[in-house]
Amino acid sequence: MTRRSLFALALVTLIAGRSAAAAPLDVAVKEVRASASTVRTTIQLRDVVPDRFKKVIERGGQLHLRVQAELWEKRPVWDRLVYPAIVRMFHLGGSPPTAGIPNPLELTVDLGGRDRVAGAEDYYVHVIATIGTLAEREAEDVGDAVFGSEGDASGLGSLGRMVFRTALKVSDYLQSVSADVKSRKVHGSEIIRP
């Protein structure tokens, strides 16, 4: 193995280890209710900015919070998705470090029309929350260290840089922490109760 190959392998191992060592994001579904025409859920996120990401914000960087919420009908054999997934993106960062981010952070998400919920059925909300950063400058530095700088004339180095940067763009986050949670079972009559 060449020195560059060993460096790339060590780098991948380091990045994978950092992702596995992250503390889980704490997410809870507080309630599912219908207003006059819309079903809404209230989602509570605790410790939205884990310690490892506080440095990013302190340096003026930005974090991206992605929240995906779905309402499912609970069935004996196969659960049914009531509405397509609702995805909300939030950008956290700048200055001061974490003063403007409440803990816990509560979000209200509109899921869909009230008419799709039947009073006699059971439902639950499935939420996937991910907080992360792309750390673009770090990605460029790593790409240059492994494949050489833009000024290098090596065709293989140019190909390596292109593949590396494309792989980073395909995955939304270089570093991220995710949580996947389902709410308790809620009877339809409880959701649409006035």
pLDDT above 70 covers a percentage of the chain that reads 63
| Short-list 87, 73, 80, 71, CA closest to 39 | 71
pTM: 0.67
Q: Tell me what pLDDT residue 163 has.
A: 65
| Short-list 26, 44, 43, 39, CA closest to 121 | 39
Query: How far apart, in whole angstroms, are the C-alpha atoms of residue 155 and residue 134?
Result: 26
More confident residue, 9 or 134: 134
Q: Which residues, other chains included, contact 160 with Cβ-Cβ below 8 Å and sequence gap of 6+?
A: 143, 146, 147
Does 58 fall in a domain? yes
**Residue 77 above 80 pLDDT?**
yes
Tell me, what DSSP letter sits at residue 21? T
Q: Identify the band that residue 138 occupies on the pLDDT scale cut at 50, 70 and 90.
A: very low
Domains: count for the chain: 1
Q: Which residues, other chains included, contact 130 with Cβ-Cβ below 8 Å and sequence gap of 6+?
A: 25, 65, 66, 172, 173, 176, 177, 178, 179
Does 8 fall in a domain? no
Does 117 fall in a domain? yes
Query: How far apart, in whole angstroms, are the C-alpha atoms of residue 126 and residue 184?
Result: 10
Show the domain range for 69. 23-133+177-189
Does 81 fall in a domain? yes
Does 164 fall in a domain? no
Does 166 fall in a domain? no
- pLDDT tens per residue, range 11-24: 444 444 444 444 45
Does 128 fall in a domain? yes
Does 32 fall in a domain? yes
CATH code of 51's domain: 2.60.40.10
CB 181 within 8 A of CB 28: yes
Q: Tell me what pLDDT residue 90 has.
A: 85
Q: Among positive and negative, which fits the CA dihedral 92, 96, 97, 102?
A: negative
- pLDDT tens per residue, range 162-173: 665 565 554 444
